[in-house]
């Protein structure tokens, strides 16, 4: 990685501003899932061990630039204190006199959490004066560990880097960049990309970019139907984006001329909408009118799994069906098992995307995947070949 890492920093006795992703779910004023907090612990512990004075900032939810107690990070300070086994101070505003005083009162290894940066509209506007106020809380050292926010040019992610001497990646950020970076710049081959999920329009850039980089692509989920329909196949009431049919047809043509291996489902599990209680499985060509495709079928699962078993690098984004309903989860769960098995056999596997990650967790094989990306939108933009402003802004090593 060409960017500065927290491991490169001299932090003893210095106030270090660390942008984390504590955007956790709250339930009745308590943190109901502390995964995101636990994921930053290695970074925080490293800073503490090195004698830094930690000033932590995050957003939580979408308070739209106004103070809204529903989105207060106060419960997170309590939870973090528990996890670190030491008190965590809290500043009720992320800028201003109180935050400054509290940051100055820190001693080596002590931790201060600032209130939600999105209580100020200047955060999302990347306002320079606001960024400067944030920077005033540290001694010219900024660490970004919020990979999930790196695709947003916000003040606490990008703006602040203009007002500090060093901007480094935290350990979580570094891990994401190393895994995703290797997959798209120097993958072991064959490199197989698996794409699914709700919409072609969400992922079109990812499809285009990975078609350039991968050796094969497997497409399932709702987005497959726009591709199938573009070939004149019957899809019943399955989700099709009619304004994307030309685009889909163009991509399939490109794949054909380049002899790029692009596989679409050959069969599927259908339900008669709107009542999803009766299901049946047919070949795509035999799709009955009025029925909706909600999962890939057994022949598709077998073909896709076969491709996965030959891969040395696998990138997967997007469930292959409506996995939230057990009747339509088989394709996604089978894919999770196939990816896990290939990984055990030596392949490198990366899963990204909020729902895909949830599906893999649900499958019980998550621990066998090489890398589960925490950044939904950010990992998609990265895989689409875009530069992330929050990464670009970090100092070169
Ligand atoms: P990710 O969050 O991993 O990027 P997406 O948000 O793009 O994934 O897609 C996930 C959603 O797609 C899930 O809610 C799932 O139910 C839905 N989905 C997948 N396949 C189908 C399908 N055939 N019909 C309708 N919805 C589907
Ligand atoms: Mg999603």
In a domain, 393, yes or no: no
- Answer yes or no: 199 catalytic: yes
Domain boundary (151, 173, 195) is at 173
**Percentage of the residues of the chain whose pLDDT score is greater than 70:** 99
Strand partners, 349: 314
Among the listed residues 51, 65, 81, 377, the single catalytic one is: 377
CATH of the domain at 318: 3.40.50.1260
Same domain, 222 and 153: no
pLDDT band per the 50, 70, 90 thresholds, residue 123: very high
Given a cut of 90, whether residue 139 has pLDDT beyond it is: yes
Dihedral sign for Cα atoms in the order 21, 22, 27, 32: positive
Instruction: For residues 133 and 192, state if they share a domain.
Output: no
User: Residue 195 has what pLDDT?
Assistant: 97
Alpha helices in 259-385 (DSSP H): 298-310, 330-344, 354-363, 376-383
How far apart CA 185 and CA 204 sit, in angstroms, is: 20
Question: Do 122 and 219 belong to one domain?
Answer: no
Q: Based on the domain organization, do 45 and 68 belong to the same domain?
A: yes
Name all residues whose Cβ lies below 6 A of ligand 1: 197-198, 202, 221-222, 239, 293-294, 317-319, 321-322, 324, 353-356, 376
243, part of any domain: yes
Higher pLDDT, 50 or 184: 50
Segment 236-247 mean pLDDT = 96
Predicted confidence at residue 377, as pLDDT, reads: 86
Does residue 346 belong to any structural domain of this protein? yes
Q: Residue 320 Cα, ligand 1 centroid: separation in angstroms?
A: 7
pLDDT average, residue stretch 237-247: 96
Last residue of a domain, one of 119, 142, 173: 173
Q: Is the pLDDT of residue 273 over 80?
A: no
- Is residue 389 domain-resident? no
pLDDT interval class at 283 (50, 70, 90): very high
Distance 198 CA to ligand 1 centre (A): 4
Mean pLDDT (whole number) for 323-342: 97
Exposed, middle or buried, 185 (CB in 10 Å: 0-12/13-18/19+)? exposed
Mean pLDDT for 86-101 is: 98
Domain end, chosen from 120, 139, 173, is at 173
| pLDDT at residue number 286 | 98
377 is catalytic: yes
Residues 117, 29 share a domain? yes
Residue 74 in this model has a pLDDT that exceeds 90: yes
pLDDT at 376 over 90: no
Is residue 274 very low, low, confident or very high in pLDDT (cuts 50, 70, 90)? low
Mean pLDDT of 338-352: 97
Say yes or no: 128 and 191 in one domain.
no
Same structural domain, 305 and 369: yes
| Distance, CA of 343 to CA of 316 (rounded, Å) | 13
For residues 140 and 195, membership in a common domain is answered with no
Q: Which ligand lies nearest to the CA atom of residue 239 in the structure?
A: 1
Is 126 in the same domain as 232? no
Evaluate whether residue 390 is within a structural domain. no
Q: Which is the catalytic residue, given 3, 36, 152, 229?
A: 36
- Phi and psi at residue 223, to the nearest 5°: -65, -20
In a domain, 371, yes or no: yes
Same domain, 164 and 197: no
Interval 188-211: pLDDT, tens:
999 999 999 998 888 999 999 999
| Burial class, 39, CB count within 10 angstroms (exposed 0-12 / middle 13-18 / buried 19+) | middle
- The closest ligand to the CA of 200 turns out to be 1
Shared-domain flag, residues 198 and 244: yes
For residue 323, give the ligand nearest its CA: 1
Residue 224 domain-assigned (yes or no) = yes
Same domain for 239 and 347, yes or no, is yes
Q: Which entry of 61, 109, 354, 376 is annotated as an active-site residue?
A: 354
What does the pLDDT average to over 278-297?
96
Domain that holds residue 93: 6-173
Q: Which atom of ligand 1 is nearest to the CA of 321?
A: 20
pLDDT value of residue 277: 84
- Average the pLDDT over 259-270 and give the result: 98
pTM given for the model: 0.90
Residues ≥6 apart with Cβ < 8 Å to 314: 191, 192, 193, 194, 308, 339, 342, 343, 347, 348, 349, 350
**pLDDT per residue over 161-193, tens digit each?**
999 999 999 999 999 999 999 988 889 999 999
The answer to whether 282 and 288 are in contact (CB under 8 A) is yes
Predicted pLDDT at 275: 73
The average pLDDT across 133-148 equals: 97
Q: Does residue 275 lie within any of the structural domains?
A: yes
Summary mean pLDDT of the chain: 96
Q: How many domains does the chain contain in total? A: 2
Residue 354 catalytic? yes
């Amino acid at each position: 990685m060409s960017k500065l890492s927290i491991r490169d920093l001299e932090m003893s006795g210095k106030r270090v501003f660390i942008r984390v992703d504590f955007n956790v779910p709250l339930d009745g004023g308590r943190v109901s899932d502390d995964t995101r907090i636990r994921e930053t612990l290695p970074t925080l512990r490293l800073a503490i061990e090195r004698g830094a004075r930690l000033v932590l900032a995050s957003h939580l939810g979408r308070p739209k630039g106004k103070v809204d107690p529903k989105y207060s990070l106060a419960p997170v300070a309590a939870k973090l204190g528990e996890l670190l086994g030491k008190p965590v101070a809290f500043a009720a505003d992320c800028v201003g006199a109180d935050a400054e005083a509290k940051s100055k009162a820190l001693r080596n290894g002590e931790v201060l959490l600032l209130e939600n940066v999105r209580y100020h509209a200047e955060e999302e506007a990347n306002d320079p004066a606001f960024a400067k106020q944030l920077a005033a809380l540290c001694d010219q050292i900024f660490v970004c560990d919020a990979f999930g926010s790196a695709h947003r040019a916000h003040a606490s992610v990008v703006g602040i880097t203009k007002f500090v001497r060093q901007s480094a990646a935290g350990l979580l950020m570094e891990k994401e960049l190393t895994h995703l970076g290797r997959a798209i710049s120097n993958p072991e081959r064959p490199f197989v990309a698996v794409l699914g999920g709700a919409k072609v329009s969400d992922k079109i850039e990812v499809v285009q970019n990975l078609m350039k980089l991968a050796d094969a692509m497997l497409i399932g989920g709702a987005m497959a139907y726009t591709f199938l329909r573009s070939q004149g196949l019957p899809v019943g009431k399955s989700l099709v984006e009619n304004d994307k049919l030309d685009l889909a047809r163009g991509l399939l043509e490109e794949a054909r001329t380049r002899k790029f291996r692009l596989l679409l489902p050959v069969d599927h599990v259908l339900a008669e909408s709107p009542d999803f209680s009766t299901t049946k499985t047919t070949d795509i060509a035999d799709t009955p009118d009025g029925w909706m495709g909600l999962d890939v079928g057994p022949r598709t699962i077998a073909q896709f799994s076969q491709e996965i078993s030959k891969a040395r690098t696998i990138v997967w984004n997007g469930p292959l069906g409506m996995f939230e309903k057990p009747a339509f989860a088989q394709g996604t769960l089978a894919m999770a098992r196939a990816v896990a098995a290939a990984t055990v056999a030596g392949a490198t596997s990366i899963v990204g995307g909020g729902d895909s990650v949830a599906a893999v967790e649900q499958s019980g094989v998550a621990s066998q995947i090489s890398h589960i990306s925490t950044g939904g939108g950010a990992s998609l933009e990265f895989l689409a070949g875009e530069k992330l402003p929050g990464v670009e802004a970090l100092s070169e090593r």
